[in-house]
């Protein structure tokens, strides 16, 4: 039987092959459509579209990768950064699974529980979207009904309200300062909203780490 490091090495090897293969496949989509229809991209549109979009997305992508990889584990990271919807689905799903399984995130058990939860979530998401696409005509008037709109608009508050109770009640000493800081910032700074919350995650994480380190060094976390 391989040891933990041996298992992790095999996850990194296969993850690298899978991710790079999916990246090539993704690039093949616009390339193939262009070849099939005999068209090339509009040069000005492509350049200006990329200039307006890419710098911000790549900067956020780098920050998200560095922030989320330690939380997702190896298998979970390779999968999550391919299937997307990390903060609103994959990470909460992994967090809940770790909590229910009562395993430590940094342990081998934690790595496996996180990978299993994220893989199941990815499979279910993909299948539900396939079903939604097949049934898009009858489903559209139902899912886009004005009466249901508030439910889906408030998915994140409902999700983080429940997750917050679990994690803050267990680690309230390290949670108080970052929660207060984020509340003050989001209430006081109008530029902080749904579009910028992703940028605030690493800020909040760094602040929480600093607070935790101080409390830990002072022996206040026992």
Q: Which of residues 162-221 bind other proteins (CB under 8 A)?
A: 162-171, 174-175, 178-179, 181-183, 185-187, 190, 192-195, 197, 200-201, 203-209, 211-212, 216, 221
Q: How far is the CB of 95 from other proteins (least distance, A)?
A: 6
The residues in 11-30 that bind other proteins, with binding defined as CB under 8 A, are 11-12, 14-16, 18-23, 25-30
Which of 106, 138, 214, 218 lies at the binding interface for other proteins (CB under 8 A)?
A: 106
The token pair at 217 is: 């060094």
Q: Supply angle C-alpha 69, 98, 17, rounded to 5.
A: 40
Q: How far is the CB of 59 from other proteins (least distance, A)?
A: 9
Rounded to an integer, what distance in angstroms lies between the CA atom of residue 197 and that of residue 178? 14
Q: How far is the CB of 6 from other proteins (least distance, A)?
A: 10
The contact pattern for other proteins, residues 122-141, with x = CB under 8 A and - = no contact, is xxxxx-xxxxxx--x--xx-
Q: Which residues contact 20 (CB under 8 A, 6 or more apart)?
A: none
For residue 93, give the DSSP letter. Answer: H
CA distances in angstroms from 11 to 28, 48, 52, 79, listed in the order given: 25, 38, 35, 11
Total of residues contacting other proteins (CB under 8 A): 161
Query: Does residue 33 belong to the site contacting other proteins (CB under 8 A)?
Result: yes
The contact pattern for other proteins, residues 47-76, with x = CB under 8 A and - = no contact, is xxxx-xxx--xx--xx-xxxx-xxx-xxx-
| Alpha helices (H) in the chain, listed in sequence order | 4-37, 43-83, 91-101, 108-134, 136-143, 149-153, 155-170, 172-188, 197-217
Q: How far is the CB of 134 from other proteins (least distance, A)?
A: 10
Q: How far is the CB of 31 from other proteins (least distance, A)?
A: 9
Give the 3-state secondary structure of residue 88: helix
């Amino acid at each position: 039987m391989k040891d933990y490091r041996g298992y992790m090495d095999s996850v990194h090897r296969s993850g690298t092959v899978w991710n790079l293969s999916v990246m090539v496949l993704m690039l093949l989509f616009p390339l193939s459509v262009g070849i099939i229809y005999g068209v090339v991209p509009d040069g000005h549109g492509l350049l200006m579209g990329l200039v307006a979009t890419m710098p911000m997305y790549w900067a956020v992508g780098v920050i998200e990768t560095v922030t989320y990889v330690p939380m997702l584990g190896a298998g979970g990271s390779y999968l999550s950064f391919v299937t997307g919807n990390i903060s609103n689905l994959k990470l909460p799903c992994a967090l809940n699974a770790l909590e229910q399984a009562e395993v430590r995130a940094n342990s081998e058990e934690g790595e496996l529980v996180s990978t299993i939860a994220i893989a199941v979530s990815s499979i279910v998401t993909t299948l539900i979207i396939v079903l939604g696409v097949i049934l898009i005509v009858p489903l559209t008037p139902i899912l886009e009904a004005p009466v249901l709109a508030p439910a889906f608009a408030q998915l994140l508050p409902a999700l983080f309200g429940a997750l917050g109770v679990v994690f803050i009640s267990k680690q309230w000493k390290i949670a108080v300062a970052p929660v207060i800081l984020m509340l003050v910032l989001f209430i006081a700074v109008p530029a902080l909203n749904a579009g910028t919350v992703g940028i605030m995650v690493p800020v909040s994480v760094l602040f929480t780490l600093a607070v935790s380190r101080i409390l830990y060094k002072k022996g206040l976390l026992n």
